[in-house]
């Protein structure tokens, strides 16, 4: 959710401020120092610094007038061939302003470009290399055609480590005078899953309610059930208390406003904590995948979740015999 005020407020302005991608930053920084770089392809999950690093490159290269030499397009909104033929080509064919010999075009979510647009893009990248460098960003590099990948240096971003998320939380808490207790930190790290943007958005939502951030607030505003509540549902099913497990599951979903897909993903991550043999755990993971697929295909989520709880109960009782 890029509309968050904090996303822009706490976005790194220099290479030294970028968290969690040390190897990538080191290699990209060497390009910038030489004022020469190839086309770049940033691939990786959401909220790990792809757009931020592209902006830092532009600011370090061009200085205060970076906006004159930097074009940012979100391909998920503008994904047709006309965008490549018009906007991109018009910007690419003009010379850069200043002492850097090229401009930068940043195409965010370029895996949403149609194949025709990608074919047009490959020719544009080839024809205007002398005046323009492209930075392409995507979640799935497999959706980018091979001719474009071969023209780029590919950097694969990883989710941020807990210590990196913690450092970001510390910086924001200090600037905004927030008190974040240890359990709330752990909840933010778990809920964000290495996604810095998600962590900042949740923290901002919590700060709107109180300067003291608690675990309960984090889980409530993130629309995620607390792990111990999910474990309780599973343990009730393992103990053969099907009705209690079903009631607890429904109460948890209503309390946090969770969909069937949300809860099945949380169930899957908590299965390894169950007191059943490892083989049964593997079977339950496999069943989670089946249930998730059925929900995606349009099956009734409550019926599927009840079926899963029934399977857990039967599987556990079979393990005891």
Model confidence pLDDT, tens digit, residues 127-150: 888 888 999 999 988 999 999 999
Tokens at 60, concatenated: 């370090």
Q: Check whether 66 has a pLDDT greater than 50.
A: yes
CATH number of the domain within which 110 lies: 3.40.50.300
Quote the pLDDT of residue 6. 78
Say whether both 170 and 151 belong to one domain. no
> Per-residue pLDDT tens for 207-256?
988 899 998 889 888 888 888 899 999 999 999 999 999 999 999 998 88
Based on C-alpha coordinates, what's the Rg of the chain? 24
Asked, for residue 175, whether it belongs to a domain, the answer is yes
How would you classify the pairing of strands 39-43 and 132-138?
parallel
Are 141 and 107 in contact by the 8 Å Cβ rule? The answer is no
* CATH of residue 205: 1.10.8.60
Shared domain check, 141 and 186: no
Q: What is the domain count for the chain?
A: 3
Q: What's the domain range around 181?
A: 165-221
Quote the longest CA-to-CA distance of the chain.
Answer: 77
Tell which residue, 141, 122, 143, 157, has the closest CA to residue 47.
157
Domain's final residue, options 131, 156, 181: 156
Give me 125's structure tokens.
Answer: 């990248």
CB of 67 closer than 8 Å to CB of 97: no
- The answer to whether 44 touches 139, Cβ cutoff 8 Å, is yes
Q: Are residues 203 and 280 in the same domain?
A: no
**Are 33 and 84 within one domain?**
yes
Q: pTM above the 0.95 mark? A: no
Classified as helix, coil or strand, 268 is helix
d(CA 41, CA 276): 44
Instruction: Identify which of 157, 194, 168 has the alpha carbon closest to the alpha carbon of residue 21.
Output: 157
- pLDDT band at residue 50, thresholds of 50, 70 and 90? very high
């Amino acid at each position: 959710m890029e509309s968050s005020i904090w996303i822009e407020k706490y976005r790194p302005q220099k290479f030294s401020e970028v968290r969690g991608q040390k190897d990538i930053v080191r290699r990209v920084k060497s390009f910038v120092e030489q004022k020469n770089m190839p086309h770049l392809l940033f691939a990786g999950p959401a909220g790990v610094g792809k757009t931020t690093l592209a902006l830092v490159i532009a600011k370090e290269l061009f200085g205060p007038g970076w906006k004159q030499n930097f074009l940012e397009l979100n391909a998920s909104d503008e994904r047709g061939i006309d965008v490549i033929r018009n906007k991109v080509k018009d910007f690419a064919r003009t010379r850069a302003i200043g002492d850097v010999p090229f401009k930068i075009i940043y195409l965010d979510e370029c895996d949403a470009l149609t194949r025709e647009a990608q074919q047009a893009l490959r020719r544009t990248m080839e024809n205007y290399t002398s005046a323009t460098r492209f930075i392409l960003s995507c979640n799935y590099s497999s959706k980018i055609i091979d001719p474009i990948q071969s023209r780029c240096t590919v950097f694969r971003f990883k989710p941020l480590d807990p210590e990196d998320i913690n450092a970001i939380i510390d910086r924001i808490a200090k600037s905004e005078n927030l008190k974040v207790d240890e359990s709330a930190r752990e909840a933010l790290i778990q809920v964000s899953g290495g996604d810095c943007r998600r962590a900042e958005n949740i923290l901002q939502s919590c700060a709107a309610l109180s300067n003291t951030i608690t675990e309960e607030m984090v889980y409530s505003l993130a629309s995620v059930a607390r792990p111990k509540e999910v474990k309780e549902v599973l343990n009730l099913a393992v103990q053969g208390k099907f009705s209690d497990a079903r009631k607890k599951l429904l109460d948890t979903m209503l309390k946090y406003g969770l969909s069937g897909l949300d809860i099945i993903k949380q169930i899957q991550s908590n299965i390894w904590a169950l007191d059943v043999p490892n083989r049964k755990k593997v079977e339950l993971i496999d069943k989670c995948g089946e249930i998730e697929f059925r929900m995606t295909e349009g099956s009734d989520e409550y019926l599927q979740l009840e079926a899963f709880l029934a399977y857990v109960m039967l599987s556990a009782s079979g393990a005891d015999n």
